[in-house]
Amino acid sequence: MVKNSNTMKKIFSIILLTLLADIVCLSQTFYIEKTTEGYEQPIIDKLLELNQKITAKQETSDYTIQCIISNKGGWGVPAEGRIIILESKTGNVLLKSNSAKAMVNMFRGFQNPRFLIMKKIAKDYLHELLLQLKR
């Protein structure tokens, strides 16, 4: 019984250290470029959920995230967009997310499609992009 308890403590410690190492390794400072309509908010929310550091000044950040809308869409035509992660000091593009599409829909409460696009990207692609930055 004592042997199992010690083994369980060791296993728990290893798991905890692994999780903490991931959080520490991923902690970089991000600057998120503001948009006129505020549709960058889902990206900010997801970064905070993932315990990432966000700064209000681009010059103090390691990475800059731009929310790009390539097709603004319209009634019956979906809007399309993605995020781009740049190295803040050089401006070099490091990563681009897959594109996401959304359109105005009464079932979504007529939400802004640009906001919905960033919400999809935050949910489906952002964590993987952060893991790629880590590598």
Q: What is the pLDDT of residue 16?
A: 55
Question: What is the tens place of the pLDDT at every residue in 91-122?
Answer: 999 999 999 998 876 666 667 888 999 999 99
- Residue 15 falls inside a structural domain: no
Which residue range forms the structural domain that includes residue 130?
27-134
Q: Which CATH number covers residue 126?
A: 3.30.160.150
**Residue of 73 and 31 predicted with greater confidence:** 31
CA distances in angstroms from 111 to 17, 97, 104, 118, listed in the order given: 41, 22, 6, 12
Helices and strands: H and E segment counts in the chain: 4, 6
Q: What is the pLDDT of residue 4?
A: 65
Q: Give the chain's domain count.
A: 1
Cα(90)–Cα(85) distance, integer angstroms: 12
- Residue 1 falls inside a structural domain: no
- Residue 17 falls inside a structural domain: no
Q: Tell me the pLDDT band of 23, cut-offs 50, 70 and 90.
A: very low
